[in-house]
Structure 1
Amino acid sequence: MRRVKVAFFDVDHTVTTSGSMSRLLAYYHAALGHPRRDFEDRMCELKAMTAVGCPREAVNRAYYAGLEGLDAEVMAAMAGAWFDAELATGGFYHEPAVAELRRHQKHGAYVVLVSGSFPAPLRLIAEDLGADEFLCTVPCVERGRYTGDLDGPPMIGTAKADAALKVLLQRDVPARDSIAYGDHVSDLPLLRAAGSGVVVGGDHRLRTLASAEGWTLLPGTPPAPDLRLPAWSAPAHPSPWAARGRTAQPFVISARYDMSESA
């Protein structure tokens, strides 16, 4: 068996049990006292795009378009509190995938996280897991605020494969000495770019393809634990779209609000 020199891991619903994008956004809005309904409406819009068959890349772009006007430094600072809250649930990480990541680290592999999520949450996950690098969607920031545009393509589909091949080229590692982990059909380009693949959960189509390719199967992630958000209160900084006179209420974000890296 060839030694794995580079291991690529999708993040949301592969290494973690939840979607970092939606849950961090919920935490951000709750902590700043923005109306809860704003967040819920936004998630409904993104889920509706997915339901009618919009490409995963388009839904990913729509998520970041919705960040327009939000303070990037506040988001980054809020990510620390969000991450602590996720860890406090006791079920943030998907242990079978993390065990694989640790195994590769033990044997000296270069570990790379590859995700459609963005730096604010991913930097914390990468640091906590001791990953060597993370590749992600990069929102544009001007004058300290998200513009709603992206610096480059969403890190979805073929973009993941292209980014992974660039890492292999930079490190002078042949593809046959790499492995990739993913949970969704959009991860297929990444899985096929690597020397071998591992499917974490996945739908029937993906698991059938895994069997045909001779890839390893890991159990899917369990439902993400509920995430307790800060009590919703009067906003310290008003939301760009906040309606006046609305009273925010404390609540807990559950799996029904959770979305993968596509949104």
Structure 2
Amino acid sequence: MTADAPDETAPEPRPGLRAAAFFDLDKTLVAGSSGFYWARAAAAHGLISRRRLAADGWENVKFRLRGSTDDSTRKVWERVGSFLAGQRVRDFERLSPRVLAGVLPRLYPEMLAIAWEHQDEGRPIYIVTASTQETASMIADILFFDGAVGAPLEQVDGRYTGKLAGPMTYREGKAEAIRQLAERDGLDLGASWAYSDSESDLPMLRAVGRPVAVNPDRELARVARQEGWEVIRLERIATHLKSAAALAAIAALGGLGRAASAGRPAGGVGRRRG
């Protein structure tokens, strides 16, 4: 891990309020996309096809190499909404153990150490993500975070409608989400931290007093340099998964999909913060 920034003294929270720390999920707490592990679990249970799994695997590789864009995020949510419409909520709740089995080994230990250090010093810690509220809450619970905000999925009569039940937690939506958390939980955003990898999270990062860029994409790295923000670099996949290696990863995903189809049932420590 490398970190680039002066270790400044943290601003004191306003009287009666607390500082907090907000963490994006994908490429910040977790290497790659947590959504891919939902797809893999769904394929193992016969809910999606092997072709769909391979396509999602390719999207995960591209995400790790390049990060997200507004267009890719929109397309992901269009696919998710179309796929979820009419599906039973219970069927997806039962995928949770498989999803966690995929996600937990890909957590960055360094980022967990930073999060828990904040918590030990009296600051509540939250996951704030464009992934679903179900994903955010599940991971926050298992990691003993104090809360989580994600995209809320609409449910009617025990089935997903394919629509959102509230605002999308993306770009300005994330900033609004932490402002609501601050009002609800008595937090001082000016004395708080936010961690993210993507320029799409600039509204959230600029809403706090201590923004930190983690595995930043090109635009966020540029802004962080310009603004003098702290930078933490953990992601090294761009040097390992180019050309033939990336293609090999996709071939392996295809094999995983075939195995899932055959087997499915019928029917580190971060720097101390002040």
TM-score, scaled to structure 1: 0.77
Q: Which amino acid aligns with 1:72?
A: V
Residues 1:167 and 1:119: Cα distance change in structure 2 (over 3 Å): closer
Deviation at 1:151, TM superposition (A): 0.9
Q: Does structure 2 retain, via aligned residues, the 8 Å contact 1:13–1:19?
A: yes
CA distance in 2, matches of 1:27, 1:177: 39
Q: Which residue of 1 aligns with 2:260?
A: 231
Q: Does structure 1 retain, via aligned residues, the 8 Å contact 2:193–2:210?
A: yes
Q: Which residue of 2 aligns with 1:39?
A: 53
SS of the residue corresponding to residue 163 of structure 2 reads: strand
Tell me, yes or no, if structure 1 residue 81 matches structure 2 residue 98: yes
Q: Does structure 2 retain, via aligned residues, the 8 Å contact 1:79–1:120?
A: no
Number of aligned residue pairs: give it: 233
Deviation at 1:54, TM superposition (A): 5.1
Q: Does structure 2 retain, via aligned residues, the 8 Å contact 1:83–1:121?
A: no
Q: Which residue of 1 aligns with 2:120?
A: 106
SS of the residue corresponding to residue 155 of structure 1 reads: coil
Residues 1:36 and 1:64: Cα distance change in structure 2 (over 3 Å): same
Q: Which residue of 2 aligns with 1:249?
A: none
Tell me, yes or no, if structure 1 residue 156 matches structure 2 residue 175: no
SS of the residue corresponding to residue 135 of structure 1 reads: strand
Identity over the aligned pairs, expressed in percent? 24
Q: Which amino acid aligns with 1:231?
A: A
Q: List alignment gaps of at least 5 residues for structure 1.
A: 239-263
Tell me, yes or no, if structure 1 residue 209 matches structure 2 residue 226: no
Q: Does structure 2 retain, via aligned residues, the 8 Å contact 1:191–1:197?
A: yes
Residues 1:99 and 1:63: Cα distance change in structure 2 (over 3 Å): farther
CA distance in 1, matches of 2:166, 2:94: 24
Alignment partner of 2:79 out of 60, 63, 66? 63
Q: Which amino acid aligns with 1:78?
A: L
CA distance in 1, matches of 2:182, 2:43: 39
Q: Does structure 2 retain, via aligned residues, the 8 Å contact 1:34–1:235?
A: no
SS of the residue corresponding to residue 198 of structure 1 reads: strand
Q: Which residue of 1 aligns with 2:211?
A: 197
Alignment partner of 1:166 out of 180, 185, 206? 180
Deviation at 1:76, TM superposition (A): 1.3
Q: Which amino acid aligns with 1:82?
A: V
Q: Which residue of 1 aligns with 2:27?
A: 13
Question: C-alpha deviations, 1:47-84, integer Å up to 9, x for none?
Answer: 99x99x75355234313313222222111111122212
CA distance in 1, matches of 2:218, 2:263: 46
Residues 1:35 and 1:141: Cα distance change in structure 2 (over 3 Å): same
Q: Does structure 2 retain, via aligned residues, the 8 Å contact 1:140–1:146?
A: yes
TM-score, scaled to structure 2: 0.74
Tell me, yes or no, if structure 1 residue 219 matches structure 2 residue 233: yes
Q: List alignment gaps of at least 5 residues for structure 2.
A: 1-8, 13-17, 242-248, 268-274
Residues 1:85 and 1:182: Cα distance change in structure 2 (over 3 Å): closer
CA distance in 2, matches of 1:189, 1:56: 19
Greater share of helix: 2
Residues 1:185 and 1:54: Cα distance change in structure 2 (over 3 Å): closer
Q: Does structure 1 retain, via aligned residues, the 8 Å contact 2:20–2:188?
A: no
Q: Which amino acid aligns with 1:180?
A: A
